[in-house]
Amino acid sequence: MQLKIALGQMDVQVGKPEQNWQTVVEMAQDAAAHRADILVLPELWSTGYDLANAAAHAIPLDQGIFTRTAALARDHRLHILGSCLSLLGENQFGNTAAWFDPQGKIAAAYSKIHLFRLMAEEQFLTAGNHLTTLDTPWGKAGVAICYDLRFPEQFRAYALAGAVMTFLPSEWPHPRLAHWQTLLRGRAIENQMFMIACNRVGQSGETRFFGHSCIIDPWGEIVIEGDETPQLLVATIDTTLVDTVRAKIPVFADRRVDVY
């Protein structure tokens, strides 16, 4: 199945949702002009790491920035995925990736389960408590966010659940570019799936983000990779490659679940 993906690598302006919204509107227009099926955005694309003001930004999934994104998806006949601050409960704020379909409906939502201490997430956010997969016209997909990439169990769980691809909105900074590239290829190779990762660029305080949004195929080969500037990256993948790779090297059939 041919899936055309647009990665919206953007310079997120911290605490400026309206400015970020205008960037996303332009990216959605561009993605639609390229006839992309899905636009993938970075982690916390609407506010960046303005976590101290999470109470002012976080809203339920049926309000505010989420409903505006739903309308944007419907207007451009796009799937759109990226994470924003959500209200999970009273004084509970989540880093939540919502997947909007071309009808403007939420097809799935995933709140980041691994909170990143280096960005003080655990001080402000509530961790999610479940994994998320969804059935798409191109096969089953998993959703993860940034720091989740360091936890291989999550991606193996997605593969065992039948996922042929996992989407990863991120804000991954320097100096850990080598980690980003190595872990993405590792997750793709060991699970024989596509890894589709959208990272931000720009600087927030002392933290500089390097972009390098990319798509990695089930062989671990790079389909497309960005640089460190704002850009829309567009590429087409064939998700049936997953079946080919899994048949060629039958990792899942050879797992020793009786031992481990």
CATH architecture of 2-248: 4-Layer Sandwich (3.60)
In 3D space, the residue among 6, 2, 19, 1 whose CA is nearest the CA of residue 202 turns out to be 19
Paired residues of 110 in beta bridges = 97
Task: Give 10-residue mean pLDDT values along the chain (260 residues).
Answer: 98 98 98 98 98 96 97 98 97 97 98 95 97 98 98 98 98 98 98 98 96 98 98 98 98 96
Scanning the structure block, which residue is given the tokens 């960037």? 23
Catalytic residue selected from 112, 121, 171, 198: 112
Asked about 214 being catalytic, the answer comes back as: no
Q: Is 248 designated active site?
A: no
Q: Of 43, 84, 121, 198, which one is the catalytic site residue?
A: 43
Q: Is 43 a catalytic residue?
A: yes
DSSP for 103-135? TS-EEEEEE-SS--GGGTHHHH-----S--EEE
Question: What pLDDT, on the 0 to 100 scale, is given for residue 66?
Answer: 98
pTM (global) more than 0.75: yes
pLDDT at 93: 98
Asked if 217 contacts 193 with a C-beta cutoff of 8 angstroms, the reply is: no
- Structural element, H or E, at residue 223: strand 222-225
- Name the catalytic one among 84, 121, 146, 214: 146
**Residue-level pLDDT at 84:** 98
Q: In the chain, where are the structural domains located?
A: 2-248
DSSP 8-state assignment for residue 139: E
